[in-house]
Structure 1
Amino acid sequence: MDKDTREMEIVKKNTRLQISGNLLVRNTLFNLVGQVAPLLVGVITIPFVVRGLGTERFGLLSLAWVVLGYFTIFDLGLGRATTKFVAEALGKGETDQVPHLVWTSVTIQAILGILGATVLVGVTPFLVGRILKIPPALVNEAKVTFYLLSLSVPVVLVSTSFRGVLEAAQRFDLVNAVKIPISGLTFLLPLVGLFLGFRLPGIVALILAARMGALMAFFAMDLRVIPHLKKYANSFALFPSLFSFGGWVTISSIIGPIFTYLERFLIASFLSVGILTFYAVPYDIISRVVIIPTSMFMVLFPTFSHVVSVNYKAARELFARPFTYLLFVMVPILIVGVVFADEILKLWLGSEFSQKSTTVFQVLTIVFFFHAFAYLPFAAIQGAGRPDLKAKLDLLMLPIFVGLCWWLIPELGLLGVALAKLLVTLIDLLCLSWMAKRLFGFSIKEMLGERVEKALVMAISFTLVALSFRRILLKPTMVDIIVIGAFVFAYLFMFVKTVMDDKDKATIRNVLKSFLLRRT
Structure 2
Amino acid sequence: MRNKNNSFAHSIGWNLAGAGIPLAFAFFAVPSLLAGYGNERFGLLTIIWALIGYFSIFDFGIGRALTKLVSDRLGRKNTEDLHDVTKTALFTMGFLGVVACVLLTATAPLLASALKLDDSLRTESIVSLRILAIGIPFVILSAGLIGLLEARADFHAINKIRLLMGMLNFGAPLLMLTWTHSLVPATVALACARAVTTAMYFRISTRNGALDVSSGHFNRRNLKELLGFGSWITLSNLISPLMAQLDKVVIGSVVALHLLPFYAIPGDLVNRLSFVPIALVGVFFPAFAAHWSAGEPEKLASLYKDAAIVMFAVVYPIALGIYALAPEGLSIWINEQFSHQSTPLLHWLCAGLIINSAARIPHALLQAAGRPSITAKLHLIELPIYAVALWQLLLHFGIIGAAIAWTGRMALDYLLLSACSALAIPGSRRSSAIMIIAVAAGIALMVAIALLPSLWMKFALSLSIGLTGIALAAPIVFRLRHND
TM-score, normalising length: structure 2: 0.90
Specify which of 124, 134, 139 is matched with residue 141 of structure 1: 124
TM superposition shift of 1:180:
0.5
Specify which of 157, 166, 174 is matched with residue 149 of structure 2: 166
Match of 2:139 in 1: 156
Q: Distance in 1 between matches of 2:50 and 2:428?
A: 43
2:34 matched to 1:50? yes
Q: Distance in 2 between matches of 1:493 and 1:61?
A: 39
Q: Which has the larger radius of gyration?
A: 1
Ranges in structure 2 where 5+ consecutive residues have no aligned partner: none
**Residues 280-359 of structure 1 aligned to structure 2 (within 5 Å):** 280-311=264-295, 312-359=297-344
Q: Distance in 2 between matches of 1:395 and 1:314?
A: 32
Specify which of 488, 498, 503 is matched with residue 462 of structure 2: 488
2:217 matched to 1:243? no
TM superposition shift of 1:470:
4.1
Q: Which amino acid aligns with 2:230?
A: G
TM superposition shift of 1:309:
0.4
Q: Please give the secondary structure, in 2, of the residue aligned with 1:170.
A: coil
**Residues 350-369 of structure 1 aligned to structure 2 (within 5 Å):** 350-369=335-354
Q: Distance in 2 between matches of 1:328 and 1:382?
A: 23
TM superposition shift of 1:97:
1.9
Q: Please give the secondary structure, in 1, of the residue aligned with 2:80.
A: helix
Write the deviation string for residues 70-117 of structure 1: whole angstroms up to 9, x where unpaired. 321232111111111111111111223221111111111111111121
Q: Distance in 2 between matches of 1:338 and 1:488?
A: 10
Cα distance change on mapping 1:21 and 1:375 into 2, 3 Å: farther
TM superposition shift of 1:207:
1.8
Q: Please give the secondary structure, in 1, of the residue aligned with 2:370.
A: coil
Write the deviation string for residues 136-181 of structure 1: whole angstroms up to 9, x where unpaired. 3333333322221221121111111111110111111010011101
Write the deviation string for residues 463-517 of structure 1: whole angstroms up to 9, x where unpaired. 75664454352xxxxxx333223323443555677x679x538549x9xxxxxxx
Q: Distance in 1 between matches of 2:446 and 2:247?
A: 31
Q: Which amino acid aligns with 1:194?
A: L
* Alpha carbons 2:418, 2:432 under 8 Å: kept: no
* Number of residue pairs the alignment of both structures matches: 478
Moved more, 335-344 or 428-437: 335-344
* Alpha carbons 1:319, 1:448 under 8 Å: kept: no
Q: Distance in 1 between matches of 2:477 and 2:103?
A: 53
Write the deviation string for residues 364-416 of structure 1: whole angstroms up to 9, x where unpaired. 11111111100000010011111110110010011111222233222222222
Match of 1:442 in 2: 427
Cα distance change on mapping 1:285 and 1:426 into 2, 3 Å: same
Q: Please give the secondary structure, in 2, of the residue aligned with 1:96.
A: coil
Q: Distance in 2 between matches of 1:427 and 1:238?
A: 35
* Alpha carbons 2:5, 2:11 under 8 Å: kept: no
Q: Give me the identity figure in percent.
A: 27
Match of 1:504 in 2: 476
Q: Please give the secondary structure, in 1, of the residue aligned with 2:177.
A: helix
Match of 2:451 in 1: 471
Moved more, 364-373 or 255-264: 255-264
Q: Distance in 1 between matches of 2:252 and 2:41?
A: 28
* Alpha carbons 2:452, 2:458 under 8 Å: kept: no
**Residues 69-88 of structure 1 aligned to structure 2 (within 5 Å):** 69-88=53-72
* Alpha carbons 2:314, 2:470 under 8 Å: kept: no
Q: Distance in 2 between matches of 1:51 and 1:73?
A: 32
TM superposition shift of 1:427:
1.6
Specify which of 431, 452, 455 is matched with residue 416 of structure 2: 431
Specify which of 208, 213, 229 is matched with residue 230 of structure 1: 213
* Alpha carbons 1:21, 1:504 under 8 Å: kept: no
Moved more, 346-355 or 228-237: 228-237
TM superposition shift of 1:317:
2.1
Q: Distance in 2 between matches of 1:227 and 1:500?
A: 31
Match of 1:68 in 2: 52
Cα distance change on mapping 1:62 and 1:114 into 2, 3 Å: same
